[in-house]
Amino acid sequence: MTEGAIAGRMTRRGVILGAFQLGTGVVLALRLRQLQVEQADQFRLLAEENRINIRLIPPRRGLIVDRHGALLAGNEQNYRIAIVREEAGDVRAVLNRLAKIIDLAPAEIDEVVKDLERRSAFVPVTVAERVSWQDFSAVAVNAPTLPGIQTEVGTSRIYPWAEDTAHVVGYVGPVSDYDLERLDDPDPVLQIPRFQIGKVGVEARLEQLLRGKAGSRRIEVNAVGRVIREIDRIEGTPGSDVQLTLDAALQDFVQARLGEESAAAVVIDVRNGDILASASSPSFDPNKFVRGISVADYKALLEHDHRPLSNKAVQGAYPPGSTLKPVVAAAALEAGVIDPSETVYCPGFVEVAGRRFHCWRRGGHGHVDIRKSLQQSCDVFYYEMAQRLGIERIARMARRFGLGEGFDLPMSAVSEGLVPDKDWKRRKYGKDWLVGDTLNAAIGQGFVLTTPLQLAVMTARLASGRALIPRLVKSVDGVEVPHPPAPPIGVSASILDRVRDGMNAVSNTRRGTAFSSRIVAEGMEMAGKTGTSQVRNITKAERARGVFRNEDLPWERRDHGLFIAFAPREAPRFAVAVVVEHGGGGSTAAAPIARDIMLRTLYGDVPPLEAYPESQRGRIGAMLKELRLRTPPGPHGKRTRA
């Protein structure tokens, strides 16, 4: 190959190489221009984000108040200390230094470390809360030696009425992993360390209303993560304030009157269905759950045989016993299976299908009509009505009065109770309904189950003749919650008058089963019905030698005592239902409590002794003085037992 040819080839190679280098340079130059000019703002923002943090501001949780504005659930100032993992470096070393300033046990340090590992590095985790101002100040002063430690002033939930409203209002607690897992689209605010949400009761059922929306703030931090300044702040939206229909002072009286019994009571306004009181005893202090209940305290609540954590007023399902008889009487009159003047003979028992069904009164009641059947609570009369009616007509009437219905109220685990019929037994047990099942159902035993709330609704419907729906939320942010008037229940006025007359005889005639618990104040008279429901079968041998008295049996084998009532008799305004677990007879265990609650509701204060029979006033006066009612509000709305 000649020299000219070689030189030509080399020249071509040089041109190609030069062109490639030039192209590369142009591309780099264009890219550099893009980075420095066109994308400058983007990278400036990224650099800015390295020194500016955006943090959520927890919203103020909405207040819960009673019908008169008394605070049931509020917020109090809470000094807390938190740590951010990405700013702390050696987390355990920082926490050990912190432990020299505040009381921080090794087990608490371990828990914080575990919590930090579960969360993103930039998310603050609470180390301690409700610390004293002295400890809070000491940590703030020593902040330069505690990288990643933050001092914060927040709020925490407080329940001024404590045990009185625990089962209705409920309580809040820190968000758990379980809470996050069951939410499809969890609110970012739930990631805030130990952010509190409703766990039970109104707090849980109205969580979305009460929680509010989080705000945010932008803060500038230095290289070690220390806050230099706050750049801007956007306040969140506070949660809605909720007003309940409860009367806190009445609720306090009811809770105190139930005392140490395992019991429940519900008071309803007959005119509109407002729940004025809903108490379950014994109760618990919800403030302990907010602050962190001890293992010992929680174990004591779980193992207590009276089940203080259970809201018996809406969760407890009990055989209604003879409190169901007014409904069966209404069904019999409406179906025309008995004439108001007709009587049924009660010899003390009846034999049906080869089985003997006993009346509570061993010697029987003789000839009994509708009024006397309620006045003296004759079982044989209702065994006869059961055979004439059949279970289907009894069940239909019971449902019209609110039994077997789970009312949509913002409380936890509201039970539907049970109004059985033939189809139910076939589905549940695969067996046919027996005539004996109907006889038991007619006296509120067997498969029938009701809650104290349902019994109060039933009584309110009997008193008003309207299909009242119970209401617990009165207003939200001052706006009344719509509650349309209840329609007529569809039972004729003449039938309701017959039933009410029998209930009046229970409380206000000498042979009535609740005569000793009558109200004597003129215009305040109460009409009611006693009930006793068995929790055990009475054997043939026991009947032969005489049935054991309730007081001779272990507590858990005694009968439940029940009582329902409305007052005033002539113009009903309030309905009350009381259930005393294993309290014995309704006339002795439940009726006296119900009378005191009714009088407190009617008078709006501790009832005067003049409303009681004269022979009882000394004993009643001493009892009322011993009730540990709450004192008037003190500082910050807190109340204490007198």
For residue 420, the domain's CATH number is 3.40.710.10
pLDDT at 505: 98
Residue 144 falls inside a structural domain:
yes
Residue from 350, 332, 447, 325 nearest 388 by CA = 332
Domains identified in the chain, total number: 2
Which pTM does this prediction carry?
A: 0.84
pLDDT at 89: 83
Residue 298 falls inside a structural domain:
no
DSSP classification of residue 192: S
Residue 519 falls inside a structural domain:
yes
Same domain, 181 and 234: yes
Same domain, 199 and 265: no
Residue 617 falls inside a structural domain:
yes
Q: Which of 219, 244, 269 is the last residue of a domain?
A: 244
pLDDT at 449: 97
Same domain, 287 and 348: yes
Residue 48 falls inside a structural domain:
no
CA–CA gap between residue 352 and residue 382 (Å, rounded): 13
Residue of 156, 322, 412, 507 with catalytic role? 322
Contact yes or no for 359/380 (Cβ under 8 A): yes
Angular region, 305: left φ>0, alpha ψ -120 to 50, beta rest: alpha
Residue 417 falls inside a structural domain:
yes
CA–CA gap between residue 102 and residue 121 (Å, rounded): 24
Same domain, 208 and 108: yes
Angular region, 22: left φ>0, alpha ψ -120 to 50, beta rest: alpha
Tell me if residue 507 is catalytic: no
Residue 34 falls inside a structural domain:
no
Same domain, 219 and 277: no
Same domain, 213 and 339: no
Same domain, 185 and 261: no
Same domain, 413 and 521: yes
Q: Which of 208, 228, 244 is the last residue of a domain?
A: 244
- Walk along the chain (642 residues) in steps of 10 and give the mean pLDDT of each run: 54 69 71 62 50 75 96 89 83 87 86 80 78 86 84 86 96 84 75 82 95 80 61 83 97 95 97 97 94 87 94 96 98 96 96 92 95 97 97 98 95 95 97 96 96 98 97 96 93 97 97 97 97 73 57 81 97 98 92 98 95 96 85 46 50
Same domain, 267 and 238: no
Same domain, 105 and 166: yes
DSSP classification of residue 231: E
Same domain, 521 and 387: yes
Q: Quickly count: other Cβ atoms within 10 Å of residue 424's Cβ.
A: 16
Q: Which of 210, 226, 244 is the last residue of a domain?
A: 244
pLDDT at 635: 38
Kindly report the CATH number assigned to the domain that includes residue 133.
Answer: 3.90.1310.10
Same domain, 367 and 387: yes
DSSP H helix total and E strand total for the chain: 25, 21
Residue 76 falls inside a structural domain:
yes
pLDDT at 46: 45
Contact yes or no for 322/444 (Cβ under 8 A): yes
CA–CA gap between residue 82 and residue 93 (Å, rounded): 15
CA–CA gap between residue 386 and residue 183 (Å, rounded): 49
Hunting for tokens 């009894």 — which residue is that?
Answer: 394
- Per the structure, the complete domain to which residue 501 belongs is given by 248-291+311-637
DSSP for 291-350, please give it. H---HHHHHHHHH-TT-TTS-TTTT--B--GGGGHHHHHHHHHHHTSS-TT--EEESSEE
